[in-house]
C-alpha cells in the first residue's frame, strides 16, 4: 500500500500569511499599558559633591503606548538622565532624589508616542561624599624647533596655567601637577597658538576638572646681533685716588629682536666697575658688569672683559 501526502495549497499559505500580518498590525496598533525597566545615569551632581554609590541604576516605569512603540522601547533600552543638581539631604546626612519630581524630564527623554504613567519608586537613595578642591599647575610637553635666527620674544604663555580640580581628599593630595598632550612644532617663524587637551590621570576616577583644555601661545620674531659703545662708571673709589682710563666707553655686544632693535641706545644700559673688589683681590684691572639692561635684550657680552687703569698720585 503506497502512502500519499497532500500538499497544502499555495493560496492557503498566502491567505494565512496575510491574515497573520493583519492580525499583528491590528494587535500592535492598539494601545497598552506596560511596565518597562530603563537604566539611569545621574547628571549635574553639584561641583562640591561626589556620587559614590546609588541604591539603584535603573528605574521601573509604567508607560502607555502602542504595541509597536513598546516593542521597540524594550529593544532599544537607552539610559535616561536623572538630574541630581538638587539632591535632598536627610537629618542623618544621607542624600536622596524624589523621582516623581523628575516626571516631566523623564517624559521628555522617552521616545515619541510613549507616555509615562507612573514611576515605581518615589525616591532614589544616593551615597554622596564631600569634595575638596585645589588649583594644580599645568606642565606642557613642548617640542619646539625654531627656524635659524628666530626665537621667542618672551616666555610662552599658558592659559590657564593652573586647573581647579575637585575630588576626595585621598586622591586630591596625590596630584601635584597636570600634564598636557604633547605639542610638536618645527621650523617656527611666526607666532603660534594651540588649544591642548589635559591628560587626565586615569588612576583617579573621582576627580573633577573645571577646565579640560589649555591655550598655549608664543610670540616669535627674527633676532639679530647688535653692537654699541656704552660709558661705564666706577664705584667705591676712595677719596684722593685718581684713576686714568685708556677708554671711557666699553663695547657691548647683544642679541635683540628686529622689532626692538631701534629701541636700543646708550641709555639702555648701565655698566659699573667695583674698585674695592679689584683692590681686595689685588687686581691690576677693573671688571665691568652689566647692572641694568632692557628685558628684551639677550646674550650681552662686554668687550673687553677687563679694563686696565693707572693710578695717579
| 32-49 burial: b if 16+ Cβ within 10 Å, else e | eebebebebebeebeeeb
CA separation for the pair 177, 32 (Å, rounded):
57
Q: What angle do CA 256, 272, 313 make, to 5 degrees?
A: 145
Q: What angle do CA 293, 298, 303 make, to 5 degrees?
A: 75
Whole-number pLDDT of residue 157:
95
Alpha helices in the chain (DSSP H): 10-29, 67-75, 103-109, 169-172, 275-280
Whole-number pLDDT of residue 254:
96
Whole-number pLDDT of residue 6:
56
Task: Classify 62 as helix, strand or coil.
Answer: strand
**Among the listed residues 197, 195, 140, 200, the one whose alpha carbon sits nearest the alpha carbon of residue 165:** 200
Whole-number pLDDT of residue 191:
96
Residue 144, strand partner residues = 185
DSSP 104: H
Task: Classify 12 as helix, strand or coil.
Answer: helix
Architecture of domain 29-130: Beta Complex (2.170)
CA separation for the pair 250, 229 (Å, rounded):
5
| Kind of pairing between the strands at 270-274 and 288-292 | antiparallel
Q: Tell me the three-class secondary structure of 158-217, residue by residue.
A: EECCEEEEEECHHHHCCCCCEEECCEEEEEECCCEEEEEEEECCCCCCCCEECCCEEEEE
User: What fold characterizes domain 132-218?
Assistant: RNA Polymerase Alpha Subunit; Chain A, domain 2 (2.170.120)
CA separation for the pair 152, 185 (Å, rounded):
13
- Dihedral angle sign, alpha carbons of residues 282, 284, 286, 287: negative
Task: Classify 181 as helix, strand or coil.
Answer: coil
Whole-number pLDDT of residue 241:
81
CA separation for the pair 121, 113 (Å, rounded):
23
**pTM of the entire structure?**
0.55
CA separation for the pair 180, 162 (Å, rounded):
11
Contact 135, 162 (CB under 8 A): yes
Dihedral pair phi/psi, residue 5, rounded to 5°: -115, 140
* CATH classification number, 223-312, choose in 3.40.50.720, 2.170.120.30, 3.40.50.12780, 3.40.630.30: 2.170.120.30
Per-position pLDDT tens, the chain of length 313: 555 555 566 665 666 566 555 655 555 556 777 788 888 888 888 767 777 667 778 888 888 887 667 766 655 568 888 888 888 887 666 788 888 888 888 888 887 778 888 888 888 888 777 778 899 999 999 999 999 999 999 999 999 999 999 888 878 888 999 999 999 999 999 999 999 999 988 888 778 899 999 999 999 999 999 999 999 999 998 887 888 887 889 999 999 999 999 999 999 999 999 999 998 999 889 999 999 999 999 999 999 999 888 876 5
Contact 159, 194 (CB under 8 A): no
Contact 59, 100 (CB under 8 A): no
CATH 2.170.120.30 occupies which residues in the chain? Answer: 223-312
Amino acid at each position: 500500500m503506497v502512502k500519499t501526502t497532500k500538499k497544502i495549497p499555495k493560496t492557503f499559505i498566502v491567505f494565512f500569511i496575510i491574515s497573520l500580518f493583519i492580525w499583528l498590525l491590528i494587535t500592535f496598533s492598539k494601545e497598552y499599558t506596560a511596565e518597562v525597566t530603563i537604566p539611569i545615569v545621574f547628571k549635574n551632581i553639584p561641583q562640591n559633591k561626589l556620587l559614590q554609590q546609588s541604591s539603584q541604576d535603573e528605574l521601573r516605569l509604567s508607560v502607555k503606548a502602542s504595541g509597536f512603540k513598546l516593542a521597540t522601547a524594550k529593544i532599544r533600552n537607552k539610559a535616561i538622565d536623572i538630574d541630581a543638581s538638587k539632591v535632598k539631604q536627610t537629618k542623618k546626612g544621607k542624600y536622596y532624589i524624589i523621582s516623581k519630581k523628575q516626571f516631566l524630564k523623564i517624559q521628555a527623554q522617552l521616545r515619541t508616542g510613549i507616555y509615562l504613567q507612573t514611576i515605581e519608586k518615589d525616591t532614589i537613595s544616593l551615597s554622596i561624599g564631600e569634595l575638596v578642591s585645589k588649583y594644580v599647575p599645568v606642565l606642557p610637553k613642548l617640542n619646539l624647533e625654531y627656524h635659524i635666527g628666530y626665537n621667542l620674544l618672551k616666555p610662552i604663555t599658558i592659559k590657564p596655567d593652573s586647573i581647579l580640580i575637585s575630588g576626595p581628599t585621598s586622591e586630591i593630595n596625590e596630584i601635584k601637577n597636570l600634564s598636557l598632550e604633547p605639542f610638536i612644532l618645527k621650523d617656527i617663524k611666526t607666532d603660534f597658538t594651540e588649544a591642548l587637551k589635559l591628560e587626565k590621570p586615569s588612576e583617579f576616577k573621582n576627580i573633577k576638572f573645571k577646565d579640560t583644555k589649555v591655550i598655549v601661545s608664543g610670540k616669535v620674531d627674527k633676532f639679530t646681533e647688535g653692537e654699541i659703545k656704552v660709558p661705564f662708571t666706577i664705584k667705591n673709589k676712595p677719596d684722593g685716588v685718581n684713576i686714568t682710563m685708556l677708554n671711557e666707553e666699553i663695547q657691548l655686544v647683544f642679541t635683540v629682536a628686529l622689532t626692538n632693535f631701534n629701541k636700543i641706545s646708550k641709555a639702555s644700559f648701565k655698566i659699573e666697575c667695583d674698585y674695592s673688589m679689584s683692590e681686595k683681590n689685588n687686581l691690576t684691572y677693573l671688571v665691568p658688569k652689566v647692572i641694568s639692561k632692557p628685558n628684551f635684550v639677550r646674550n650681552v657680552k662686554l668687550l673687553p672683559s677687563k679694563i686696565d687703569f693707572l693710578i695717579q698720585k
